[in-house]
Structure 1
Amino acid sequence: MSEYVLRTKKLTKRYKSDYALTQVDLTIKKGDIYGFIGQNGAGKSTLLRIVMGLAKPSDGEVELFGNSDDKGLVEARKRMGAIVETPALFLHMTAEQNLEVCRLQRGIPGSECIQRTLTLVGLGNTGRKKVKNFSLGMKQRLGLAIALLGDPEFLILDEPTNGLDPMGIVELRDLLKKLNREKGMTVFISSHILAELHQLATTYGIIHNGQLLEQLSATELNNHLQKFLLIKVNEVEKAVTVLERELGTTNFVVMQDGTIKLFGFLNETGKISKLLIEHGILLEQLTPISDDLESYFTRLVGGGHV
């Protein structure tokens, strides 16, 4: 049995002369929570659609659960659940009726899974309320319920936090962690909210202009994140002069809000505090900080934003 739930090999998607994907080699192991990161138009949704069988590649190969032939892929996709782009819902039906239609379409035996799944995503008490009267967040939860119906082994989520309030985002994060921990569910998640991904993912893939720039584990990412001292003072220019003259360093950045990021002196907070105070500078903050996922992404793609 393959240790990989998903592998793509030189996966390419071309539209006339434009490339949405260029020779992407992506690997997701069983039990991963894989955070997929990229700007709009980078190729995220294109890749997800190909994996789901909603689009065909121009070249390359998709392998799911060790299967890469057409028949094997059809069978492997029965072990998956997904929200790709906007969930397809029957607006004139209730949440329960929507799940019943999906259950019958997929041939899932027994209807007891419906209420259990609705309760799991926080929609257990919607009763006879029609989906057309749901909020955007409730519709997103219903889409997640559809994806989870039948207990898939591999869950694909494209921007699943759209429409969720901050509490809903936290609840989704906790739910995905629980499914991963208790059921061993592998999750492939694309999201613009990198702070959330950073608290959730065990592995990351960064795509830019259709090319997979990097894959790395959460441990590898944390090792790459820049660590610095965040310094806030009343006289920024004077403090910068002291750092240059007394510490012999220019390895710092003055931010737009006037705070200073000083790199390379994480274990010398006492020395720096003493220097600044001795030169009559009021020290308001001196805190060791680590960069976040968004900062790392921005450096890697050259200043772009997700």
Structure 2
Amino acid sequence: MNEYVLRTHRLVKAYKNQLALDDVNLNIRQGSIYGFIGQNGAGKSTLMKLVTGMAFPTSGTIELFGESGDKELVRARRRMGVAIENPALFPQLTAKENLEIHRLQRGIPGKECIRRVLELVGLEGTGRKTARNFSLGMKQRLALAVALLGDPEFLVLDEPTNGLDPVGVVEMRELLQKLNRETGITILISSHILSELHLLASHYGIIHRGRLLEELTLDELQKQCRQYIHIKVDSPELAASVLEQELATTKFEVLADGTIQLFEHLGRPSRVSGALAAAGLAIEQFMPMGEALESYFAKRIGGGAHE
């Protein structure tokens, strides 16, 4: 099995004199949930369209499941499920009827897949209710069901939580996590809700003005955004002993310069400083540090709000 489901190599997409994508090298590992982050116009949807064959690159290559030739890419895309922009739903038809049309158009054999995906997305009980009478959340679930027809190995979703209420956002997140956990499906997902992606994705890509600024794992992101108390005292060794014995914690690091990063007791700083002072330590620096997820992304793109 190929380690990567998707890789792009120096991918460029130009519209007249404007670069929508500029030398993008994206890497999505098998079984991951890849959160794609950027402002409006950053290039997220453009890249998704190139990957799914809805548009063609100006230069560079796309590699899907280890394949990069034109004919091979056509074949590889049959292993994908896609929900980009507004889904092609027929408002006068039921969920089951919508899926039947998409099944026939895509040449997927057998009707059993319809029942299975309706159960997966929680729409098996909609009966004769037509899509025009669905809530926005139900329509998003139906669009996901369309993408899941044919048991894809790679799911590409552009803003699947857009317009959902908080309950709908949580339900969509839990559904995607369940799919990833139980079927091993790889997911590329864009969203403007950074805190929600933080709860969902295992890997991240930050794109800005067509350029991929950074790729990082969830562990790397959490380390960047981790909150801690920064401590500098006259005896780091004694301070470490106080933290372990008086505050019963080992969740700290003593850095090479002698400063300490304490990752526990964040809500009780006075207890920490009191214990250190009671041990006779001279406290030179004591302050909460770390940054919020949104602040980290804003800093990476040089400031500004995300979509």
Same fold (TM > 0.5): yes
Q: Please, which moves more after superposition, 265-274 or 164-173?
A: 265-274
RMSD: 2.4
Q: Aligned pair in 2 of structure 1 residues 287, 108: CA closer, same or farther (>3 Å)?
A: farther
Query: Contact 2:89/2:98 (CA < 8 Å) preserved in 1?
Result: yes
Aligned-pair identity (%): 60
Match of 1:32 in 2: 32
1:289 positional shift: 7.5
2:171 alignment partner AA: E
Query: Contact 1:117/1:148 (CA < 8 Å) preserved in 2?
Result: yes
1:272 positional shift: 4.4
- CA displacement, residues 126-149 of structure 1 (integer Å, 9 cap, x when unaligned): 111121222222111110110111
- CA displacement, residues 27-69 of structure 1 (integer Å, 9 cap, x when unaligned): 1010111000000000000000000000011111111001111
1:287 positional shift: 10
1:165 positional shift: 2.2
Look up the SS of the partner of 2:74 in the other structure: helix
Structure 2 matches for 1:18-29, cutoff 5 A?
18-29=18-29
Look up the SS of the partner of 2:151 in the other structure: coil
CA distance in 1, matches of 2:289, 2:135: 38
Query: Contact 2:224/2:290 (CA < 8 Å) preserved in 1?
Result: no
Q: Does 1:303 align with 2:294?
A: no
Match of 1:246 in 2: none
Q: Does 1:205 align with 2:172?
A: no
1:116 positional shift: 2.0
- CA displacement, residues 167-208 of structure 1 (integer Å, 9 cap, x when unaligned): 222122112112111211000000011111101111100000
1:271 positional shift: 5.5
CA distance in 2, matches of 1:273, 1:201: 39
Q: Aligned pair in 2 of structure 1 residues 226, 166: CA closer, same or farther (>3 Å)?
A: same
Structure 2 matches for 1:108-127, cutoff 5 A?
108-127=108-127
- State the number of aligned residues: 265
CA distance in 2, matches of 1:24, 1:48: 12
1:266 positional shift: 5.2
Q: Please, which moves more after superposition, 84-93 or 220-229?
A: 220-229
Match of 1:103 in 2: 103
Match of 1:75 in 2: 75
Structure 2 matches for 1:232-251, cutoff 5 A?
none
CA distance in 2, matches of 1:271, 1:96: 60
Q: Extract unaligned runs of 5+ from structure 1.
A: 231-263, 276-285
Look up the SS of the partner of 1:21 in the other structure: strand
User: Where do 4+ consecutive residues of structure 1 move more than 4 Å?
Assistant: 271-275, 286-290
Structure 2 matches for 1:1-306, cutoff 5 A?
1-228=1-228, 267=262, 269=269, 270=271, 272=273, 291-306=291-306
CA distance in 2, matches of 1:23, 1:273: 53
CA distance in 2, matches of 1:300, 1:273: 37
Query: Contact 1:5/1:66 (CA < 8 Å) preserved in 2?
Result: yes
TM-score (norm 2): 0.80
1:17 positional shift: 0.8
Match of 1:248 in 2: none
Q: Extract unaligned runs of 5+ from structure 2.
A: 231-258, 277-285
1:164 positional shift: 2.2
CA distance in 2, matches of 1:172, 1:71: 34
Match of 1:238 in 2: none
- CA displacement, residues 270-301 of structure 1 (integer Å, 9 cap, x when unaligned): 354699xxxxxxxxxx9967534222101111
Query: Contact 2:155/2:186 (CA < 8 Å) preserved in 1?
Result: yes
1:7 positional shift: 0.5
Query: Contact 1:137/1:162 (CA < 8 Å) preserved in 2?
Result: no
CA distance in 2, matches of 1:110, 1:2: 29
CA distance in 2, matches of 1:287, 1:102: 57
TM-score (norm 1): 0.81
Q: Please, which moves more after superposition, 57-66 or 217-226?
A: 217-226
